[in-house]
A and B are shown apart, each in its own frame.
Chain A
């Protein structure tokens, strides 16, 4: 239901764009074929640190008004869902490492020690994005 609605929205947005770009002429959209190993959805993907620690999963991606991807929200820590926190990390601190014969792994250029004092990500609050350089002080 929901996804069909989204697709309808998407298609109408596309046609609106096409109409704006090419007044009069009807053009067929260009098609790019990507390998299934080449690109992947990112929601729910495991994130590891460079020291191969479990850093949680990507639950959201933050994009600014210009369409640039700014940060990924990871669900970090916890046991059976208790005590986990959502933390925003800089998109540039995420690296996508190809693995032989498998889909790429997502590696975060931060350690658990660096991520743990970060404040929780909240949609309606100013977002603290954790970058690769520099350390956060442990909160009191």
Chain B
């Protein structure tokens, strides 16, 4: 029985913390090949647009419906490390299926497997982090996670773009599957006894592990949580379609450099996240959550307005760097706010899943909204519409979202 009755702060070893850095980095690498690239890959495998659309829709629905069960699973688990290992293995397996059996039933199963595993993997990384360092230092840790995730996805977007270009689209998924080995190795290197499962679930460290978690309905009725969920939904509704829409505007304006410029639009913001997120994590403890959340949110309508007015393709890339500022704030603030709101409840990951669902709903409606606006009124109007959505979200945060930083930092 894991009991941690002493109120002394957790002392994770440097070794485990470094391994967590690498784990976050490698998971970001593994996830890069999935996403819009799948449509490109299946096209090279002579798939029709209808089949591709069907697979993407099913995967999208699974990743939406799986968020809360995935979080609940992580909350119920006694070893977050094992859960993460199984999830990563499932994702590598689905990459292998994509590469070797690009036939409809196999790919559909692989897409479902990947979506379900991702629903577990996301919360499990946050849970391992919280289990290692505890609430008192989690802001800093989430900042560090965001840095390594950004470096991972930036580097692997560049590397996999090159693999796809010089070898084949298939090679991207083979590389993805091969990344399983180092990922599991790094995960094994984390000391299991340093990841306290009670801390990982958001329980206070001096509580016994057999204490039952807080009532779910009461927790989800928490006003701050509802406001935060609404803000996250609005954020992704405004944000998700911005890059793809801007990408297609770029391909219309520039021909020779379009591919490189879109690559820069994907990689550039990741550099900004890598630079700023640790700072965001530290300032979240000093300044509080609210000012950072407002600042990160404010960059989004500005970006929308600039996309609607700027026409020079190179300037568009510069404007896209604002995405890095927003992403740096949100990749730290989302898990951190959830950790704040679920202190002592034992439901950290389930609530992460709830917020993840909000994120998914916003992100999947966003292309529909942007697509409608851009078809009917043109792309500048679509950017303005997204900017207006972001402005509503900003006002919501400003007026309704309370500060969630605990009044006095406790020792745990």
Contact = CB atoms under 8 A, between A and B. Distances in A.
B92 interface: no
A107 B301 CA distance: 43
A85 B35 CA distance: 16
Given A59-B49, A82-B266, A112-B256, A75 B36 contact: no
Contacts of B346: none
Which of A75, A77, A79, A116 gathers most chain B CB within 10 Å? A79
Contact of A41 (B46, B251, B266): B46
Interface in B225-274: 243-244, 246-248, 250-256, 258-260, 262-263, 265-266
A110 to B, nearest CB: 11
Which of B244, B250, B252 gathers most chain A CB within 10 Å? B252
A68 interface: no
B46 A83 contact: no
A43 B263 CA distance: 26
B36 to A, nearest CB: 3
Nearest to A58: B43
Which of B250, B251, B263 gathers most chain A CB within 10 Å? B251
B159 to A, nearest CB: 11
A80 B45 contact: no
A80 B256 contact: no
Which bucket holds chain B's interface residue count?
35 or more
B382 to A, nearest CB: 13
Contact of B244 (A59, A75, A83, A116): A83
B255 A112 contact: yes
B251 A116 contact: yes
B48 A85 contact: no
B46 A43 contact: yes
A80 to B, nearest CB: 5
B161 A80 contact: yes
- Which secondary structure characterizes the binding site on chain A? loop
Given A44-B47, A75-B40, A77-B259, A83 B250 contact: yes
B259 A82 contact: no
A120 interface: yes
Interface string A124-140: 01000000000000110
Interface in A79-111: 79-85, 111
Contacts of A76: 251
A79 B161 contact: yes
A135 to B, nearest CB: 13
B279 interface: no
A42 B263 CA distance: 28
A139 B252 contact: yes
Interface string A67-79: 0000000011111
B412 interface: no
B43 A57 contact: yes
Contact of B258 (A2, A59, A83, A139): A83
Given A44-B44, A79-B262, A84 B37 contact: no
Contact of B43 (A41, A59, A117, A138): A59
Nearest to A80: B37
B49 A60 contact: yes
A113 B36 CA distance: 24
B160 interface: yes
Given A57-B43, A116-B251, A83 B262 contact: yes
B210 interface: no
Contacts of B252: 85, 116-117, 138-139
Contacts of B253: 116, 138
A82 B247 contact: yes
A60 B47 CA distance: 10
Contacts of A113: 255
Contact of B262 (A78, A115, A116): A78
Contacts of A84: 40, 247-248, 251
Interface of A: 1-2, 41, 43-44, 57, 59-60, 75-85, 111-113, 115-117, 120, 122, 125, 138-139
7 smallest beta-carbon distances between A and B, as pairs:
A83-B247, A81-B36, A77-B251, A112-B255, A79-B262, A44-B46, A81-B37
Interface of B: 32, 35-40, 43-49, 51, 104-105, 157, 160-161, 164, 243-244, 246-248, 250-256, 258-260, 262-263, 265-266, 375
Given A82-B36, A83-B251, 6 more contacts: A43-B48, A44-B44, A81-B39, A82-B244, A83-B262, A116-B255
28 contacts: A2-B51, A57-B43, A57-B44, A59-B48, A60-B48, A75-B43, A78-B247, A78-B262, A79-B161, A79-B260, A79-B263, A80-B32, A80-B40, A80-B160, A80-B164, A80-B263, A81-B38, A81-B40, A82-B36, A82-B244, A83-B244, A83-B250, A83-B262, A84-B248, A85-B252, A115-B255, A116-B258, A117-B252
